[in-house]
Amino acid sequence: MASLDQFIDDRLLHGRAYFDRAEVLAAVDLNSQSLTAAITRLVNKHKLANPRHGFYLILRPEDLMTGAPDPVRWIDPMMKHQGLDYRISLLRAAAFHGSSHQAAMVFQVIVPKQLRDFEIGRHRLQFLYQTPKAFAKLNQRELLDRMKSDAGFAQVAGIELTLLDCARYFHKAAGINGVAQIAKDIGAKADPRRLAKIAAAYENSSVRRLGYLLERAGHVRQADALETFVRKAKTAVLLDPSVKPLIESLAELHEKNTKWKLVINEPVEIDF
pLDDT of residue 246: 46
- Measured over the CA atoms of residue 51, residue 55, residue 56 and residue 57, the dihedral's sign is negative
CA distances from 86 to 57, 89, 93, 187, 268 (A): 19, 9, 13, 23, 31
**What single-letter DSSP state applies at residue 55?**
E
Q: Among 131, 144, 260, 261, which residue's Cα sits nearest to residue 201?
A: 131
Domain residue spans of the chain: 4-68, 73-264
Check residue 247 and give its pLDDT.
47
pLDDT one digit per residue (tens) for the chain, 272 residues = 689 999 999 999 988 999 999 999 999 989 999 999 999 999 999 999 999 999 999 999 999 889 999 999 999 999 999 999 999 999 999 999 999 765 678 999 999 999 999 999 999 999 999 999 999 999 999 999 999 887 789 999 999 999 999 999 999 999 999 999 999 999 999 999 999 999 999 999 999 999 999 999 999 999 999 999 999 998 999 999 888 754 454 445 568 899 999 999 888 988 87
Contact residues for 42 (Cβ-Cβ < 8 A; gap 6+) = 4, 8, 48
What is the structure's pLDDT at 64?
86
CATH number of 4-68: 1.10.10
Read off the pTM. Answer: 0.92
- 126 φψ region: left (φ > 0), alpha (ψ -120 to 50), beta (else): beta
> CA triplet 221, 225, 230: central angle to 5 degrees?
130
Cβ neighbours of 156 (radius 10 Å): 23
User: 183 near 98, Cβ under 8 Å?
Assistant: no
178: phi then psi, degrees, rounded to nearest 5: -65, -45
Residues in the chain: 272
Q: Which of 173, 163, 169 is nearest to 226 (CA)?
A: 163
Q: What is the DSSP letter of 215?
A: H
